[in-house]
Amino acid sequence: MRALPQLEAQRTSLETCVFCPKLCRSACPVSNAEPRETLTPWGKMTHAWMAAHGDVPVDRSHAAPAWACTSCYACREACDHKNVVADTLLEARDALARKGVAPDGATRVIAGFAKHDVETRVATRELAFHPGVDAASSEGLLIGCSYVRAAPREARDAIEAASAIAGKKVALAEGCCGLPLLLAGDREGFARHARAFAASVERYERVTVVDAGCALTLRRRYESAGISLRPAIELLVERAARALGAMRPVPYTAGPVRWHDPCQLGRGLGVYEAPRAVLERALGRAPDEFLEHREWSACSGAGGLLPSTMPEVAAGIAQARVDAHVREGAGRLVTACASSLLALRRNASASGIAVDDLVTWLARGFGNPGPL
C-alpha cells in the first residue's frame, strides 16, 4: 500500500470488503439516507483500499467517504465475516488526515478540540454544587461532553442516579475522553489526550460512565492506543440493572414507552438486557420495541462525527428513526446516549413526541421520585 502505507496493517479488513458481493449494503444508515454506491460499506472500504494503493488521487473528494460512517457497527452484523468496517475507517481517516485531505468538518473538530475540552470542564464544574457531588469522593463519575454541555437536566439526573446507586456522593471526572479527535482523524492527538485523561482519573477506585460512547472509548479505544486505566470502568445502566431491588416503579400511564438501542451501547458494547431490565422495573412491564431493535436496531445518525461532516444526512437518519417510531405507535421515546438523545429530540419536537434519556428514569426510580 505504497500511497498510504499506514493502512498495510488493515489490508485483510479492507480486502474482505473490496472483494465482497456487498451483503451489508442495506445495513448502512448513511447510504440508506444518501443512496450512493460510494457511501455503502463496500464503497467506503474500496475507496480507502484504492487510495492506499495509489489507484485514485489522495484528495478531498476521494477521502470524503471515510468520514461517511456513524461507527454504528450495523454492517458488521450483516457481514458473514463480521468485518469491523468502522475501526478500519478510523485508521483510514488518520492516514488521510495526515495527507491534509480531511473534510472541513473534521478539520474544524481537531482545531477546536482544546476549546471544546475547556468548555466541557467549565460545564462540569458548574455541576459541582449538586448535593450528590463531593470532589473528595473515591467514586468517580464521567457524565460525558454532550450531556454536560447540551443536556444539563440529564446531567443532573445522572448525578442523582449515580450517587443513589453508589450509596455515597460522587466526584465528577472533568474534561473530554478524547473521542472527537479519534473520529476526526487525529490518532496521535487522541493518544496524547487519552494519556492525560487517564492520569486525571487515576485516584478513583471506580469510574461510572453515563455515555456509552465514552465507555466504549475508555474500555476499548484506550486499550488499542496502549493506554491503561487504573480504576474500574463501569456503565451506569449496568450498575442500575444490578441494583433493581432498590429501584422504585416510575408511574407512567400516558401510552407506549419505546426503547431505542444506541449503537455504541448495543452493537458497540453488547449491552442489550440492562436498559430493558431497568425500564421494565420502572414501568412494571417490558418497554415497547421498534421492529428494528437489538443487534438490528437502526442508527440515530448522531455518531462517528457525521453531524459535523454530513449534517443533512445525519439529520435525515434521525428523522427516519423518529418516523419509524410514529408508524409503530408513537408514545414516549427513550434512549441512553447523549448524541442520540439530542438528535432524536431535535427531529421529534415537531411531532410533539417526548424523548427521554434513561438517566431521567433512573433518577426517578433511585433518587427523587418527581415527574418525568
What string of pLDDT tens digits covers the 372 residues of the chain? 777 888 888 888 877 776 776 767 789 999 999 999 999 999 999 999 999 999 999 999 999 999 999 999 999 999 988 999 999 999 999 999 999 999 999 999 999 999 999 999 999 999 999 999 999 999 999 999 999 999 999 999 999 999 999 999 999 999 999 999 999 999 999 999 999 999 999 999 999 999 999 999 999 999 999 999 999 999 999 999 999 999 999 989 889 999 999 999 999 999 999 999 999 999 999 999 999 999 999 999 999 999 999 999 999 999 999 999 999 999 999 999 999 999 999 999 888 999 999 999 999 999 887 777
d(CA 88, CA 146): 25
| Beta-carbon count within 10 A of 254 CB | 10
Residue 372 in any domain: the answer is no
| pLDDT value for 21 | 65
Q: Is 255 left (phi over 0), alpha (psi -120 to 50) or beta?
A: left
Same domain, 161 and 255: no
Same domain, 129 and 231: yes
d(CA 365, CA 369): 6
| pLDDT value for 16 | 79
Domain holding 180, by residue range, is 110-242
Same domain, 70 and 173: no
Report if pTM > 0.85: yes
Same domain, 56 and 71: yes
Q: Of 242, 268, 298, which marks where a domain is finished?
A: 242
Q: Give the three-state DSSP class for 175.
A: coil
Same domain, 72 and 171: no
Residue 314 in any domain: the answer is yes
| Beta-carbon count within 10 A of 136 CB | 7
Same domain, 131 and 237: yes
Residue 160 in any domain: the answer is yes
Same domain, 257 and 235: no
Same domain, 182 and 220: yes
| pLDDT value for 12 | 82
The enclosing domain of 144 has a CATH number of: 3.40.50
d(CA 324, CA 287): 16
Same domain, 52 and 174: no
Q: Of 80, 101, 122, which marks where a domain is finished?
A: 101
Same domain, 15 and 33: yes
| pLDDT value for 164 | 97
Number of domains in the chain: 3
